[in-house]
Structure 1
């Protein structure tokens, strides 16, 4: 079986969560199975090994899981992009629209240096708001986001199209129709 097929088949779909009509793509089965987790991380390690980014930025919270392991494997730094009010030092913030409201993410002001090349990681791309907010924060501090990476793309929600229109190259492993 192809690695991407293994990842796709291991993902769990939870119908009607967090509200009726939504097909939630749950990555926890990927993390629970050590073989699949290794295959998943290796997909990203092999992608970025030669690109040599300076850091991996992970989006709160599932992007932390992938991003931290990926940074460790690449022997580079990890930068957390957190929900507002969770970081203890000086921050910059960016608000964005969600499917069901609004949210704000923050980044420490010393998280990256001007010229740093960063890969931005999350578990999935839905509307693209969270990843776009992360990109803006990193760029505000002078970093270059070389690519956005996620396990899952939900193209019908328009996020990947929106992100590409904003100049962000994307790498995803699987896509699902609908949401």
Structure 2
């Protein structure tokens, strides 16, 4: 099967930005007894935000793509740094972007910020592999998907040359400087 036309540059919103944004309210059922977002629930917030962003900003339903094409991405590895507690009822901004891709893999970065996008609460990297769902084997990204990834990839740094901890340090410095300027 060839790549689905849903991964087409024409499906992108006209005002597309590689770093997509979602606003979310931290729900009571997602919090621990201290009234903070439970650490495991951060993953759900990142994944839900990314799914909504891909649907809205890219014009692609990942579920429909996987069902139709019989291929899709599975998570190989997650890295997350919890930096600031997020209180129940808080509004957070979740920003995600594809920061790296190769023939077989991709990395998505997620940032959880306060409503004003001044304070970084958490940083998340998700390494994904592209699989054929009928064989269960890793496969190469189709050329159309690679072209699409190159268009949507966040190009403010080179993920293949950067560790998660280096990226974390860079973003902490960025948000500290941003906060001082405001």
- Tell me the TM-score normalised to structure 2 length: 0.27
Structure with greater proportional strand content: 1
| TM-score normalised by L of structure 1 | 0.28
